[in-house]
Amino acid sequence: MIEIIDLHKRFGELVVLDGVSLSIPPGETTAIIGPSGTGKSVLLKHIVGLIEPDSGQVICFGTDMAQASERERYAVRRRFGMLFQDGALFDSLSVGENVAFPLERHTRLSPREIRDRVEEKLAVVGLPGTWDRAVSQLSGGQRKRVGLARAIVMEPEVVLFDEPNSGLDPLTSDQIDTLILDMKQALGITFVIISHDIIGTVRVADHIAMLNAGKLVAWDRTEAVLRSPEPVVRAFLRRNLVLPEAEGEQAHLPRAEEARRG
C-alpha cells in the first residue's frame, strides 16, 4: 500500500532522512517513533506528497508521489485521512459542521446524505448527537474524537495520526488508544501513527518503525522491536518500558502505569 524506498531529505546542512526504506502493510497499525527532530513528521509529509525527497521514492497505491502531477497527488490524498496533533478544528463551526467540512468541499452528497454520514462517524468515535455542540465546549479528548471523525468521514483507506495522545491525561489517552483499536477492527483501515507515547504505541501498533538521526534503526512487528538488540532502540524504549531480555518474555509497563491501569 505504501512503499518508502531509500528516502533522503535534508534542509540546508541538516540531514533529516538518510536512506529510509520501509513497507507499510495494509489493514494494520504502524507506529513511527524516535527522539524529537529525527524526521518522523517529515516522513509523514513525504507520504502524502507535501514534501519532495532529495532522492528515493514514496509509492502510495502504485503512484510515485515525487514524480506524480498535482492532479495525481490529489487523487492519492483523497484516499488518506489525517488527525492533526491539535485537532485543527474550526472554532467558528459546530462539531457537525467541522466533520462535514470535507464532504461539502469534495463530494456531491446532498445535505441529508452529509448529515447522515457525519452522524454515523460521530457515533463511531463515541460522540453521537453532538452535531450542534460548540467546539469551545469540548474537552481535549473530545476535540481529538471530533478530529478523528473528520479524518474518517471521507471513508479513507489510510489514516495518518500526528501525536494522537499529545496534551491528553493518561485516562483520556487510554480511551483514544481503545478507540484506535476498535476502529481498526471494525473498519479495516490502515493506521500510521507518529507518537512519543511509547506505552500507547506498544498497545495499539502491529508494527513499529524507529528513526534515529534520520536513519531507520528498527522496523518489525512490535514484539520483535521490543526484543531488538540495538542499543539505541533499547535505550529509547527502556525509558517507558521494562523490556524482555530473552526470547519468550514480554515487555512490561512501568509499575506506576500497571497500578494506574489496575
φ and ψ at residue 242, rounded to 5 degrees: -95, 110
pLDDT-derived band at 258, boundaries 50, 70, 90: very low
Q: Determine the Cα–Cα distance for residues 137 and 143; give it in Å rounded to an integer.
A: 9
Q: Which of 15-19, 213-217, 233-237, 249-253 has the lowest mean pLDDT?
A: 249-253
Residue 50 lies in a domain: yes
Residue 190 lies in a domain: yes
Nearest to 148 by CA among 160, 136, 131, 138: 160
Any idea of the CA torsion for 243, 245, 249, 255, to the nearest 10 degrees?
Answer: -30
pLDDT-derived band at 36, boundaries 50, 70, 90: confident
CA 118, distance to chain mean position in Å, is 21
Q: Is 251 left (phi over 0), alpha (psi -120 to 50) or beta?
A: beta
pLDDT-derived band at 185, boundaries 50, 70, 90: confident
Residue 14 lies in a domain: yes
For 220-251, the pLDDT digits (tens) are 999 999 999 999 999 999 887 777 763 444 55
Q: Specify the 3-state DSSP secondary structure of 190.
A: strand
Q: Is 87 left (phi over 0), alpha (psi -120 to 50) or beta?
A: left
Q: What is the CATH number of the domain that holds 29?
A: 3.40.50.300
Most confident of 85-89, 95-99, 105-109: 95-99
The predicted structure's pLDDT at residue 257:
47
Q: Determine the Cα–Cα distance for residues 198 and 260; give it in Å rounded to an integer.
A: 16
The predicted structure's pLDDT at residue 259:
36
For 119-177, the pLDDT digits (tens) are 999 999 999 999 999 999 998 889 989 999 999 999 999 999 988 888 788 888 888 89
Residue 108 lies in a domain: no
What is the residue range of 179's domain? 2-79+156-261
Q: How many structural domains are present in the chain?
A: 1
CA 184, distance to chain mean position in Å, is 12
Q: What is the mean pLDDT of residues 48-62?
A: 94
CA 213, distance to chain mean position in Å, is 21
Mean residue pLDDT of the chain comes to 88
C-alpha dihedral sign at 5, 219, 187, 120:
negative
pLDDT-derived band at 86, boundaries 50, 70, 90: low
- The full DSSP string for 33-60 is E-STTSSHHHHHHHHTTSS--SEEEEEE
pTM: 0.85
Residue 169 lies in a domain: yes
Residue 72 lies in a domain: yes
Is 98's pLDDT higher than 80?
Answer: yes
Residue 43 lies in a domain: yes
Q: Which of 2-6, 17-21, 33-37 has the lowest mean pLDDT?
A: 33-37
Q: Specify the 3-state DSSP secondary structure of 155.
A: coil
